[in-house]
């Protein structure tokens, strides 16, 4: 649970990219998610998103979500980082491949949501989706619900080496559970990213 994901956006008067998040873990894996973005909609109205991994279902405001992979061909990557952190080595490779990069952190959950679901018609200004989400040192509460969203619509997730994310007792018993890296997106885009990072 993360009561405010995107705290810096929450405290900005004009900020809209923040949300409240709950993720259910079953057998150590994300199985359901609830994301409430109270001001992300048009005229700062709420958007409520739920995910059911086993049922492969995502709802947005009670209706079936439009999966990003079937609605458009986005050329944006979310490769955000903390203030002062170095640029990701893949940044220049991605730009050369024609991708545009979001590097400033707002809400990691919302970036993962925008990797899974097309929100462009529900937001003003219209927020584009992402072909891929990648983040180093991601705290569990910033990523678990996003993983549920991605898994509910068939996206691939892994770390920067292509290994499964280490969900389980050792991670969850840590004082601050954190993934060394999180990568999520369409399988072909994740494959491209992993190849680009290994250069």
Q: Is 157 marked within a binding site?
A: no
Three-class SS state of 149? helix
At a CB cut-off of 8 Å and minimum separation 6, what does 166 contact?
A: 159, 179
Q: Is 2 marked within a binding site?
A: yes
Q: Is 142 marked within a binding site?
A: yes
Q: How many CB atoms lie within 10 A of CB 114?
A: 26
Question: What pTM, to 2 d.p., does this model score?
Answer: 0.93
Upper half-sphere CA count for residue 108 (Cβ side, 13 Å) = 23
Beta bridge partners of 81: 104
Strands (E), the chain: 2-5, 19-26, 29-37, 47-52, 57-60, 63-64, 76-81, 100-104, 132-139, 156-158, 178-185
Q: Is 5 marked within a binding site?
A: yes
- Alpha carbons 19 and 5: distance in angstroms, whole number: 5
One digit per residue, the tens of pLDDT, for the chain of length 199 reads: 888 888 888 888 888 899 999 999 999 999 999 999 999 999 999 999 999 999 999 999 999 988 875 545 678 999 999 888 888 899 999 999 999 999 998 999 999 999 999 998 899 888 989 999 999 999 999 999 999 999 999 999 999 999 999 999 999 999 999 999 999 999 999 999 999 998 7
Question: Domains of the chain by range and CATH?
Answer: 2-197 (3.40.190.80)
Q: Token pair of 83, please? A: 């203030």
């Amino acid at each position: 649970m993360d009561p405010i994901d995107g705290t810096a956006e929450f405290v900005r008067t004009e900020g809209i990219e923040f949300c409240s998040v709950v993720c259910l873990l079953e057998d150590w894996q994300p199985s359901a998610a609830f994301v409430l973005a109270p001001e992300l909609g048009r005229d700062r109205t709420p958007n409520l998103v739920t995910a059911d991994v086993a049922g492969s279902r995502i709802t947005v405001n009670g209706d079936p979500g439009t999966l990003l992979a079937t609605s458009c061909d986005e050329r944006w990557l979310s490769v955000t980082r903390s203030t002062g952190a170095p640029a990701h080595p893949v940044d220049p490779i991605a730009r050369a491949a024609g991708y545009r990069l979001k590097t400033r952190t707002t809400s990691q959950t919302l970036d993962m949501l925008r990797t899974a679901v097309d929100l462009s018609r529900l937001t003003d200004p219209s927020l584009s989706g992402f072909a891929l989400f990648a983040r180093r040192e991601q705290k569990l509460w910033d990523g678990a619900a996003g993983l549920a969203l991605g898994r509910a619509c068939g996206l691939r997730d892994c770390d920067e080496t292509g290994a499964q994310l280490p969900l389980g007792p050792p991670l969850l018993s840590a004082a601050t559970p954190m993934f060394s890296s999180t990568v999520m997106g369409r399988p072909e885009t994740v494959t491209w990213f992993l190849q680009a990072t290994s250069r």
